[in-house]
Amino acid sequence: MKAHHIGLLVTMILGGIILGMRFEPVLQDPGAYLFEKYDGMKSYYNFSYYIKYDKGYRHDGINYPYGDQLQFINSHPLYSQVVKFIDNNIVDIEDSGVAIINLTMIISIWLAIPFIFLVFRHYKIPVWLAIIATLALLFLSPQVDRFKGHFEMVYAFYFPAFWYFFIKWRNTRKSFWIGLMIIISLVGGFTSAYFVAFMSTFVLAVLLVELLRHLADLRSFTKYGLQLLAIAVIPLLVVRGYSLATDWFDDRPDNPWGFYYFYANLVSVFVTNIDVIREFIARQIHMGMQWEGKAYIGFPAVIYSIIVVFFPLYYWLRLKKAQWKWLFPDSGLMVFFLASVVVLLFSMAIPFKWGLQFITEWIPQIKQFRAVGRFAWWFYYVAGVSAVVFFYSKLISIKKSSIRYTVSGLLAVLLVLWGIEARHHFLSSTRNVENENNAFRYGQGEMWELAKAYNINTEDYQAIFFLPFINTCGDKLLTERGDKGFHPAMELSYQTGIPIIQSYSPRLSFSSALSTYQMMADSAVYRSRFDDMPGKPFLLIAPNTDLRGDEEWFKAQSDVIAETDNWYLGTFTREPFDKAFDQWHIKADSISNSLACDEILCADVPDAFIIYNDFDDENTRGGHVFNGASSYFTREGTRIFWQGNPYRPDTNIVYEFSFWVYVDHRTFNMPEVNWYELNEEGHRSKRQRLNNRALFNIYGNWARFSFILDPEPDKKYSFEVWGRYVSIDDFLIKPVQSNVRIQTGTMTTLNNFPLREFWPVPEQ
């Protein structure tokens, strides 16, 4: 057996020993542990529920009754299909979701070893050094840190495997390697769309570098360039095409938040992870960075990167032509290194954050990968290999033994430091991964015991609703109330097969998300989601503490099944909510008949106490209309849409301000609405930002804001809105205890709620 093969075998054995020692309890019983009990719970649940209950490309365990498509919920879509096939046709593994995910993460780290080793050997690194460098590069990888969450990102073999296939194709031009590159891009893309984006971006960066190198002879570059373009584009089109073809929603958010927040920076890429050194550096400079941008490249690569930066400067100062061969011993590796720098700049949101944000507006697909800092992982792998190749080439080029010993010593120091960093990173990234799995082992756990003790027949219930209420809506509406209800709901759902109404997927369709929020609305609002669900009862699960007033009201509409020291488990139907809706509108009809009216406005207080603006004289081009002919619309910027004081002398009236805001898919965030109190000089003395995230009174794609103000004389107040694509309509100020009926445009409202005849909302 050649030394090369022995070295590969030794590296895999050593890597296996390291993984085996660290994960020994997990390997003995892989289903007994949860690597992460917070954000990672969602990944465990999505995968485990699908394996046990679902089929095809649908996941019906969340967002009931609509479900969701596997590609959009971090559910390892292709792998789920493979495991499901094995379960259906080979061996029963439907209750092994957690074990499969845990083992897959560990094995994926181990599978990266041969590809990293082969990349080093391709660049003529000796076996002994390739063994050391492979293990250091692997266990310092930022992907190892994903054991803390985002489990599909742990799959470390994708990067080195794709790169190795790329190297082989570039050197042989055999189509076999193109096939492997496309296959691994597709497999990665159907694991997570990020992987196909990683591969395509790297290829496009190589295309850019090669294009610049061949400017003098573009004709000879044409075939190679088109092949690169095909390798980059075909997997993207296939993954995207499949997602669109199998998706039953057409209103997913297309402007997610995060591109200009979750990016890499110099600190996240070049500052060591060793605590003592980091703490020292933190005392000198600001260490601000995002976890999504972490891609520390290791001490040898940092030194090499510094050399790369100052190398051309040195030759420029000496007025000499740079000797690039000295810096890049292998021209092919130089291309990959420069391409990885291009991708690194992209991971830092450069140049987009330098006043070029309009580019991501023109090409919104760029923002779909909002954790852009992850793209720095390419630079991590390429810079690490480049550093080893560079330093080893310098070592073997030195002929004088005295200097060679010195350089050998320096190289040994670099390797030792690299190993220390890798060990520290691996241990810290896998700290606290042995969390007991008491949620997703069928027939075990607190929720199973609760369901069993109270004879809950799963056939009797159609879905689970949990409190405290949390849900997402494309980074626009967002309720972050912790996981007190979410985790037991997932556990109960897995144990019983009963799906969950809520969803915490960032790519959830707007219509689904908004109708979920509507479940927590006031009685004046019709809960349209009930119309899409059959008549069977629902289960409600909630902790016995930490509920808001509206959550307590919702809980009161249910009948108790069980109440323990920690949990409330109840059942409810739609009838109490329909009854509350009917009662509100019966009362509204009665109130309306007793109000004094003018042309469009009826009220039980004088008109002087009411301020109303339907904005029908505004130019709404580009905006949306809630009621009437137009609305208040601003495409971008900050504007005051009301200023004044509703205070009336000799009164002590508290006022409600309310208005409707359109939930626009063209931007990721909701408009920011601020209330200001102005002093006698007109300067702002107080400010309050209205809650623009937890809004439950939903009408179609409109959300109702409300604000209570006890005005003071000799003051002035203003409402200011900031944002993009902001549509506001039906602005009403009225005394809290009053009733105001408005009939204008196409709708009649009472206290700024549409009356019964306008529910359910017609399609918009």
Three-state SS annotation for 686-705: EEEECCCCCCCCEECCEEEE
Q: Does the pLDDT of residue 284 top 70, yes or no?
A: no
Q: Shortest CA distance to 51 belongs to which of 27, 83, 78?
A: 83
If DSSP states are collapsed to H, E and C, what string results for 469-524?
A: CCEEECCCEEECCCCCCHHHHHHHHHHHCCCECCCCCCCCCHHHHHHHHHHHCCCC
pLDDT at 221: 84
Average pLDDT, the chain: 88
Band the pLDDT of 24: cuts 50, 70, 90.
Answer: very high
Nearest to 621 by CA among 608, 642, 635: 635
For residue 699, pLDDT over 90 is answered with yes
Q: Average pLDDT, stretch 621-639?
A: 85
The predicted pLDDT at position 472 comes to 82
Mean pLDDT of 125-141: 96
At 356 the pLDDT is 74
For 175-185, write each residue's pLDDT tens digit. 999 999 999 99
- CA-CA distance, 724 to 594, in Å (whole number)? 41
pLDDT digits (tens, 9 = 90+) for 351-368: 878 877 767 767 767 777
DSSP 25-52: HHHHSGGGEES-SSHHHHHHHHHHHHHH
CA 199 to chain centre: 20
Q: What is the mean pLDDT of residues 550-578?
A: 93
Euclidean distance between CA atoms 687 and 690, whole angstroms: 10
Decide which of 306 and 409 is more confident.
306
Collapsed DSSP state (helix, strand, coil) of residue 388:
helix
List the end-to-end C-alpha distance of the chain, in Å, as a whole number: 71
Q: CA 177, 183, 184: angle at the middle one, nearest 5?
A: 95
Return the HEC string of 135-178.
HHHHHCCCCHHHHHCCHHHHCCCHHHHHHHHHHHHHHHCCHHHH
pLDDT tens readout for residues 195-232:
999 999 999 999 999 999 888 787 878 889 999 999 99
Please write the tens of the pLDDT for every residue from 700-730: 999 999 999 888 888 888 889 998 899 999 9
**83-93: b or e for each residue (b if 16 or more CB lie within 10 Å)?**
bbeebeeeeeb
CB 700 within 8 A of CB 761: yes
CB-count burial class (<10 Å; 0-12, 13-18, 19+) for 613 = middle
pLDDT bin (cut points 50, 70, 90) of residue 743 is: confident
Whether the pLDDT of residue 38 is over 90: the answer is no
Phi, psi of 733 (to 5 degrees): -115, 125
Task: Tell me the sheet residues that pair with 638.
Answer: 722
Contacts of 322 (CB under 8 A, 6+ apart): 311, 312, 315, 316
pLDDT of amino acid 322: 64
Q: How far is CA 470 from CA 552, 695, 757, in A?
A: 15, 12, 30
**To 5 degrees, how large is the angle CA 42–CA 45–CA 48?**
145
How far is 229 from 224, CA to CA, in rounded Å? 9
pLDDT at 475: 74
Residue among 731, 745, 701, 708 nearest 641 (CA): 731
Residue ranges and CATH numbers for the domains of the chain are 446-579 (no CATH), 594-758 (2.60.120)
Give the pLDDT band of residue 411 (cuts 50, 70, 90).
Answer: confident
pLDDT in tens, 482-520: 778 899 999 999 999 999 999 988 788 888 999 999 999
**For position 572, what pLDDT does the model report?**
95
What's residue 220's pLDDT? 79
Tokens (6 digits) for 25: 């309890």
What pLDDT score was predicted for residue 241? Answer: 92
Determine the average pLDDT of the residues in 426-449: 88
Backbone angles phi, psi at 369, to 5 degrees: -100, 80
Predicted pLDDT at 719? 87
d(Cα 485, Cα 508) in Å, to the nearest integer? 20
Asked whether the predicted pLDDT for residue 388 surpasses 70, the reply is yes
pLDDT band at 68 (very low <50, low <70, confident <90, very high): very high
Q: Shortest CA distance to 702 belongs to which of 758, 637, 639? A: 758
